[in-house]
A and B are shown apart, each in its own frame.
Chain A
Amino acid sequence: MATATAAKKKMVRINGCVAAAQAAKYADVDVIAAYPIRPYTATMMALAQMVANGELDAEYIVADSEHSQLSISHGASSCGARVFTGSSGVGVQFAYELYSPISGSRMPVQMMIADRTLDPPGDFGSEHTDALSTRDMGWLMGWSCDAQEAFDNHLMAYRIGEDPRVLLPQMVCQDGFFVSHITSDVELPDSGQVKEFLPPYKHPYPLDPRHPVSHGPQIMPEQGPPLQLERARAMEDSMAVIEEVHDEFAKIFGRRYDPWVEEFMTDGADVVFFLQGAHAVTARFAIQHMRDKGLKVGLVRLRTIRPYPTDRVKEVLSKFKVVGVIETNMGLGGVSSGGVLYGEVCAALYESDRRPLVLSFMAGMGGEAIVLKEFYWMAERMLDAQKRGKIEKRTHWVGFEE
């Protein structure tokens, strides 16, 4: 087992990449599988320094590709190591083969994602499509909106994924640049607190020459479904664990997050934005300005998309008249002809007695910032729909319409 240097609680000013690296250090990871790609690279640079400086005793393996990164992670986790890896954009895609095997063999690998738009062309701005394209591969997944939350999510994800009731890999996502490269104040905990919160990783059947076992053997077609069912159960069973862990995190570290959704100024709101990740920060300012004008606008930020909190989303969003989903992802030819989040929202609301109208906004694409006036424009579309009691147009490409 690697041993991180003991540290006292302190405030530091770091960006999201370094926050993720710090979290890996505090989690005392055993194996780090690295391969560079913007914007997540800075995380691996920070970890390389920590290992080089002796702050962290871990195997730091530079892979020859993302596919190898994830293969290394799979193998290392199978042997009982706590593993940290990460990627961005097309790098996430290149490792695609490994996502199902890792979750199927129930290896709690952790992968940091700093989002990047997929090619073409070589746009390096943040867009969630990279990670979201893997959303059904059996990985726990959620977005942070700032560096502190990123740090906290990484620690919590290890605790959740390694819980014997769960044993699933985790994608801990943050927007490229908006979180990964913007510096903010982050409270780093006392290492004793982390020790209390995160027990050492222990897989029930690690690869060990003294007790040979077979991981991922070939099976008969009829033997597949029970395994899939068990993976589905693990994903569902993780929901209770996620709630427990968030409670315990709050107790130990003093920061309390709703595990599923953050509601911001939703009291008395008629229309709400529904989004994931960094644009929530801008949204909060926009909402405050609109509230000052007397407009009943609020924000619901999804913190965990896998497992998807269907009932919670239904319960929360049913309170409002209009929901504006800000996608920040591509779902070409999909249910809304826009992003994939719209479908998830609508499906959750389908069984509601009080279904709000749902609009889909294609905003923040390609890593563009969603500026305040775009939030106002979107709010106008939502209020208009509220007034009419129906929607004229389901999906809007923000910035490209009058």
Chain B
Amino acid sequence: MSTKGTHIPERLKIPFAGITPAPTQEKGQDLFPTGNWRSIRPVYRDKLPPCNNACGTNEKIQGYLDLVKRGKYLDAYALIKEDMPFPSVTGRVCYHPCEQACNRGKYDEAISIRAVERFLGDLGQALKRDVVKAGKSNGKKVAVVGSGPAGHSAAYQLARLGYGVTILEKSPKAGGLNRGGIPDWVLPQDVLEREIKRLVELGITIRTNVEVGKDVSWDDLKKDYDAVVLAVGLTEPNSVRAEGENKDGVLYGLPFLRDIGMGTSKVKLGARVAVIGGGNTAIDCAREALRQGAVEVTMITVEGNREEMPASPEDLHDMLEEGVELMHGHAVTAVLGNGKVETLQLHPARFSGAINASPITVNREVPAEQFHVDHVIIAVGQHASLAWLPAEFKTERGTIKIDRFGRLGDTNFFAAGDIVQLGSGQPLMVVNAVGDGKRVAFNLDKVMRGESLEPRTIPIDVIFDLNRMNMTYFPHFPRVHQTLLPPASRRKTQQEVIQAFTEEQAVEEAGRCFSCGTCNACDNCYLVCPEPCIARPARSNGLYKILVDYCKGCRVCIEECPTGCLEGVPELDFDTGVVRMDTAFAISPGLHGRQAEELRHLGERAAKNI
């Protein structure tokens, strides 16, 4: 009888035929730690979704879409507020580079991110008290010059960091481009008003009618504040350098909009209006012109066709719907009329280089066209007014000279927004100015705390390739579209053109998000693990845990991860939490050692037994 006299040591005693509680039961896996079989370990490594990456201020877009999907609106609002002081504004005005980058756009239609942002922004507006609080005061004072998007953002972040912030605004009302550059039917005044009130609630002082170089000097700023953020924007309209441009009836884009925004406009437009320029401001001017009483509005662009225009295709579409005419490939060479504009002289023209910053070639060899107008609005960009700035900080292109951290030399002055971004290749968008303001605020804080400024060295992994996700989990589903006022009625009113999402629409649209490369707690790994070796202590992001003592590295969870956030990492890359093959027997401590001991005394023992 071979089994006579055998005994199984206590540490190896196992239940009948190895039958154990099921893996889902308590202690169901304790008996057989099989993790040492693994050569690949599943690891949750969130990547940057392309939307977050494309956003000028890197809003955690995937994050708030996921929260909206789960009905956690307030959490979603708090998340967006980390990077964006006024989602109610950008939710209306942003040219949403996130949506252009959205991976879903390559699959069916991009997520309507801006509409969800507006849903959250409006929710925030309705709150009696904002979720954001000022940081604990550090006793330092910072002046922010300018209250446009960049200044607003910098002031907001600095207040959160504990600085005593004063905003200096040369206009009678704060808001900068948000107020003066965006028509009411895109961004109602009261929405902006409430966001500015939120700044005051954060303890920020806003001093209007204070102009740097006139009311406050460079030296005053240096003396009165520990640090300064210059976010003065581009205030001066560019000219088309046409003969007779100084005639009555010649208006410039931003001042035209600004005067309406500030309520100081005295212009009464005639029936025929021409808008010169092919950008977004030109579009806003053309549409505003309709609302200011113009009957026929024509947009005259140097660009030869619609595609070349540096404008949002959506806004262009809405403008055409409202009845604005387009005339491409022409430049104004003279403004004719007796004291007041009557006719524009046009010549065929084209950009001779890249769009936006290139010289214009005008063909004067053909006879000029005459275009009758009552008013002309010139909207071909802006430039800065920096007479007050020490020469050493001026660039050749008329902007403020900064290092890559937004700092002026080794001073405590920083600059952000259009005033530094013009000509940098970065489109001049509200969201980019907000991001600039945010980054400069954080850099300023580091300088104030005596920390060194280091550029980011870790490469960011952005998922652009749909093959890195498991697309079988995403059925095609159309985008939820925002409703627009009908063109015929909206072209004469200041009512908002684009209507807000309902709660249901916001949730439905947020639910279309792929959550590219980022765990959204979909539970798929938890469900597909054949053992299961994935613990789910709580159903929220990033809280799954791989039970490394048991996971055999079968890769099923990795292959089946819809978002591509699970990665297989070679086990040898780890030095903790692993049962490696070479240490596997350490599970029964000293087994090998004991064997070795026995081996050493084998001869003596055999002799003794005889």
Interface residues, chain A, CB within 8 Å of chain B? 104-106, 167, 204-205, 212-223, 225-227, 229-230, 232-233, 236
The one of A214, A220, A221, A222 that contacts B19, using a Cβ cutoff of 8 Å: A214
Residue of B nearest to A215 (CB): B19
A156 to B21, CA, bound (A): 32
CB distance from B118 to the nearest CB of A (A): 49
Is there an interface contact between A214 and B17, defined as CB atoms closer than 8 Å? no
Contact of A226 among B14, B22, B28 (CB under 8 A): B14
State in angstroms the CA–CA spacing of A221 and B32 once bound together. Answer: 10
Binds A, one of B1-9, B233-241, B420-428, B493-501: B1-9
17 contacts between A and B (CB under 8 A): A104-B17, A205-B15, A212-B21, A212-B22, A213-B22, A214-B22, A215-B17, A216-B18, A217-B23, A217-B31, A219-B18, A220-B32, A223-B32, A226-B13, A226-B14, A227-B18, A232-B2
Contact B17 A226 (CB under 8 A): no
Residues of the B chain whose Cβ atoms lie less than 8 Å from the Cβ of A104: 17
* Contact in complex: B12, A214 (CB < 8 Å): no
Which B residues fall within an 8 A CB radius of A?
1-3, 6, 8, 12-25, 28, 31-34, 36-37, 552, 584-585, 587-588, 591
Q: Which residues of B contact A217 (CB under 8 A)?
A: 18, 20, 23, 31-32
A214 to B16, CA, bound (A): 11
Contacts of B28 in A (CB 8 A): 212, 214
On chain A, the residues within 8 Å of B13 by CB distance are 226
- Roughly how many angstroms separate A221 CA and B24 CA in the complex, as a whole number? 23
Question: Distance in Å from the Cβ of B550 to the closest Cβ of chain A?
Answer: 9
Instruction: Determine whether the beta carbon of A236 is less than 8 Å from that of B20.
Output: no
The answer to whether A223 and B12 have CB atoms under 8 Å apart is: yes
Q: Are A226 and B584 in contact (CB under 8 A)?
A: no
**Distance between Cα atoms of A213 and B1 in the complex (Å):** 32
Q: Knowing that A218-B34, A222-B12, A227-B17 are A-B contacts, what are 16 other residue pairs whose CB atoms are under 8 Å apart, sorted by A's residue number?
A: A105-B18, A106-B17, A205-B16, A212-B22, A214-B19, A214-B23, A217-B18, A217-B32, A218-B552, A219-B14, A219-B31, A220-B32, A222-B585, A222-B591, A223-B14, A236-B1
Min CB distance, B300 to chain A, in Å? 76
Contact call B588/A213, Cβ cutoff below 8 A? no
- Do A218 and B32 have beta carbons less than 8 Å apart? yes
Known: A214-B23, A229-B6. A106 touches B16 (CB 8 A): yes
Return the 8 tightest CB-CB contacts between A and B, nearest first: A212-B22, A106-B17, A233-B3, A205-B19, A226-B8, A219-B32, A218-B34, A214-B20
**In the complex, are the beta carbons of A214 and B21 less than 8 A apart?**
yes
Q: Find the A residue at minimum CB distance from B37.
A: A218
Separation of A227 and B13 alpha carbons in the complex (Å): 9
Interface centre among A167, A214, A215 (most CB of B within 10 A): A214
Which residue of chain A has its CB nearest to the CB of B587?
Answer: A220
- Asked if B33 and A105 sit within 8 Å, CB to CB, the answer is no
- The secondary structure that dominates the B interface is loop
User: Considering the chains assembled together, what is the distance between the CA atoms of A212 and B15 in angstroms?
Assistant: 15
Which listed residue, B3, B14, B19, B37, touches A232 by the CB 8 Å rule? Answer: B3
Assembly CA distance A54 to B22 (angstroms): 37
Cβ-closest chain A residue relative to B28: A214
Closest to B2 in A: A232
In the complex, A216 Cα to B531 Cα: how many Å? 12
Task: Give the distance to chain A from B17, nearest Cβ to Cβ, in Å.
Answer: 4
Residue of B nearest to A205 (CB): B19
* Residues of chain B with a CB closer than 8 A to A233's CB: 3, 6
Contacts A219-B32, A220-B34, A220-B584 known; A213 to B21 CB distance under 8 Å? yes
Q: Judging by beta carbons under 8 Å apart, are B24 and A105 in contact?
A: no
Q: How many angstroms between the C-alpha atoms of A223 and B15 in the bound complex?
A: 11
- When distances are taken between beta carbons in the complex, the residues of chain A under 8 Å from B17 are 104-106, 167, 205, 215, 227, 230
Cβ of B397 to closest chain A Cβ, rounded Å: 68
Which B residue's beta carbon lies closest to that of A310?
B1
Q: Could you tell me the distance in whole angstroms from the C-beta of A98 to the nearest C-beta in chain B?
A: 15
Give Cα distance in the complex from A104 to B14, angstroms: 14
What residue of chain A has the Cβ atom nearest to residue B11's Cβ?
Answer: A222
- Closest chain A residue, CB of each to CB of B24: A212
Nearest A residue (CB) for B23: A214
Q: How far is the CA of A226 from the CA of B22 in the complex (A)?
A: 20
Closest B residue to A204 using CB positions: B16
Q: In the complex, how many angstroms separate the beta carbon of A77 from the nearest chain B beta carbon?
A: 12
Identify B588's interface contact among A106, A215, A222, CB under 8 A: A222
What residue in chain A is nearest B3 (Cβ atoms)? A233
Residues of chain A within 8 A (CB-CB) of B12 are 222-223, 225-226
Residues of chain A lying within 8 A (CB to CB) of residue B2? 232, 236
- A396–B23 Cα distance when bound, in Å, is 56
The smallest beta-carbon distance between A311 and chain B, in angstroms, is 9
Q: Which of B15, B22, B24, B28 has the most CB of A within 10 A?
A: B22
Bound together, the chains give a CA A305 to CA B34 distance in angstroms of 37
What are the residues of chain B within 8 A of A232 when measuring CB–CB?
2-3
Cα(A104)–Cα(B20), bound, Å? 14
Chain B residue with Cβ nearest A212: B22
CA distance A223 to B36 in the complex (A): 14
- A194 to B139 alpha-carbon distance, docked (Å): 96
In the complex, residue of chain A having the shortest beta-carbon distance to the beta carbon of B32: A219
Point out the residues of chain B lying under 8 angstroms from A226, CB to CB.
8, 12-14
* Min C-beta distance of A109 to chain B, whole Å: 14
Provide the residues of chain A in CB contact with B18, threshold 8 Å. Answer: 105, 216-217, 219, 223, 227
Q: In the complex, A233 Cα to B16 Cα: how many Å?
A: 12
Give complex CA distance A204, B19 in Å.
10
Complex alpha-carbon distance, A262 and B61, angstroms: 84
Closest to A106 in B: B17
Query: In the complex, A218→B587 CA distance in Å?
Result: 15
A202 CB to closest chain B CB, in angstroms? Answer: 13
Smallest distance from the beta carbon of B583 to chain A beta carbons, Å? Answer: 12
Q: How far is the CA of A233 from the CA of B23 in the complex (A)?
A: 28
> How far apart sit A320 and B14, CA to CA, in the bound complex (Å)?
46
Bound complex: CA of A230 vs CA of B34, how far in Å? 22
Residue numbers in A under 8 Å from B585 (CB-CB): 222
Could you tell me if B21 and A220 are in contact, using CB atoms closer than 8 angstroms? no
Bound complex: CA A105 to CA B19 (Å)? 8
Whether A227 lies near B14 (C-beta < 8 A) is yes
Give the distance in Å from the alpha carbon of A106 to the alpha carbon of B18 in the complex: 10
Complex-state Cα separation, A104 to B2, whole angstroms:
18
Instruction: Give the residues in chain B near A216, CB-CB below 8 Å.
Output: 18
Q: How far is the CB of A350 from chain B (nearest CB, A)?
A: 15
Contact in complex: B19, A213 (CB < 8 Å): yes
Closest to A222 in B: B588
Q: How far is the CB of A225 from chain B (nearest CB, A)?
A: 8
Chain A minimum-CB-distance residue to B591? A222
* Contact of A220 with B33 in the complex, beta carbons under 8 Å: yes
| Contact flag A213-B32 (CB < 8 Å), given A222-B12, A226-B13 | no
Q: Which residues of B contact A227 (CB under 8 A)?
A: 14, 17-18
Bound complex: CA A223 to CA B37 (Å)? 14
Question: Chain B's nearest CB lies how many Å from the CB of A209?
Answer: 10
- Report the separation of the CA atoms of residues A232 and B2 in the bound assembly, to the nearest whole angstrom: 8
Min Cβ gap B264→A in Å is 76
CB-based nearest B residue for A107 = B17
Which A residues are CB-close (under 8 A) to B31? 217, 219, 223
List chain B residues, Cβ under 8 A from A106: 16-17
Q: Which residues of A contact B587 (CB under 8 A)?
A: 220, 222
**A205 contacts which chain B residues (CB < 8 A)?**
15-17, 19
Closest beta carbon of chain B to A237's beta carbon, Å: 8
What is the chain A residue whose CB lies nearest that of B20? A214
The interface centre, meaning the residue of B18, B22, B23, B591 with most chain A CB atoms within 10 A of its CB, is B18
Q: With the chains together, A105 CA to B13 CA distance in Å?
A: 16
Name the one of A212, A213, A229 contacting B8, with C-beta atoms under 8 angstroms: A229
B593 to chain A, nearest CB (A): 14
The closest CB in chain A to the CB of B588 belongs to A222
The answer for the CA separation of A399 and B22 in the assembled complex, in Å, is 58
The residue that B3 contacts in the complex, of A214, A215, A219, A229, with Cβ under 8 A, is A229
Query: Which residues in B have their C-beta under 8 angstroms from that of A222?
Result: 12, 585, 587-588, 591
Contacts of A236 in B (CB 8 A): 1-3
For A221, list chain B residues within 8 Å (CB).
Answer: 584
Which of the listed residues A167, A213, A218, A222 has the most CB atoms from chain B within 10 Å of its own CB? A218
